[in-house]
Amino acid sequence: MYEMSVAENRAERPRSRRSNAPMRRCIVSGDTLPRERLIRFAVGPDNIVVPDLSERLPGRGLWLTGRHDIVAQACASGSFRRAARRSVTPLVGPNGEELADLVDAQLAQRCLDALGMARRAGKLVVGFDQVRAALKNMAVPEGSKGKSAILLTAEDAADDGRNKLKALADRVAESGAALTQLALFDAKTMGGAVGREQFVHALVETDTAGAQLCAAMLRLAVYRGLAAPVNAGGSDVVPSNVVDME
């Protein structure tokens, strides 16, 4: 897996706006954060703590900062028991998977579902040559407004192709386009999400379908510790240039 870090933004970004978005407190850190930066858990009638990514389960929510290490810490430290004020047990998967890993799997599935939706909407450009051409078309003429898109690269991509597209994406971003570069899945996993055997490189413009995909993938990247969290504050949750995939 390629480690990702927040890169310095090369294009002017909008300032965050004040928002009345709901805030919640993490039961481990005590930090009060926008809800989209946390994960809700609920206690079932059997006193089992389960993840509630859709935030629809009944009962009082137990909120955690959306990171794998925080969820693991909550399970190990008894934070769920103290917050629920009764004896509760974190959910364990059928093969002994811990709760933090089950959340990762659910977040990953949401990404793959959103990828399939982008494919069905005709928004997914796949293949090295096709992605390179699409990136070139995103270069912003002086005085024009730039487009935004996600550049997806398989974790097992060859260095040559990955580095060439990254260099091109960096140049396009310097012209004023907003590009988010992500590497979260291998080629076979990404291909399976769109009915292909595999694919290595893809580009999705961040309109409705693409924005949902980008938000889901950034949430997973933050959960895995591969990208810094973004404080939406009522503005876009997607940075215009996120990832160094090397």
Sequence-ordered list of residues with C-beta below 8 angstroms from that of 159, at least 6 positions apart, any chain? none
Structure confidence by residue, pLDDT tens digits, 168-204: 999 999 988 888 899 999 999 999 999 999 999 999 9
Q: What pLDDT shows up at residue 9?
A: 35
Kindly indicate whether the domain formed by 23-94 is annotated with CATH number 3.90.1150.200. Answer: no
Q: Can you tell me the mean pLDDT for 61-67?
A: 97
Domain ranges for the chain: 23-94, 105-223
pLDDT band at 100 (very low <50, low <70, confident <90, very high): very high
105-223 maps to which CATH number? 3.30.1330.30
Question: Which residue in the block uniquely carries the two structure tokens 């090295």?
Answer: 128
pLDDT band at 208 (very low <50, low <70, confident <90, very high): confident
The DSSP secondary structure of 48-83, one letter per residue, reads: EEEE-TTS-SSS--EEEES-HHHHHHHHHHTHHHHH
> How many Cβ atoms are within 10 Å of 143's Cβ, its own excluded?
6
Distance CA 203, CA 179 (A): 10
Q: What pLDDT shows up at residue 145?
A: 75
Token reading at 50: 């389960």
> How many Cβ atoms are within 10 Å of 64's Cβ, its own excluded?
26
The DSSP secondary structure of 1-19, one letter per residue, reads: -----PPPP-S--PPP---
- The larger pLDDT score, comparing residue 191 to residue 144, is at 191
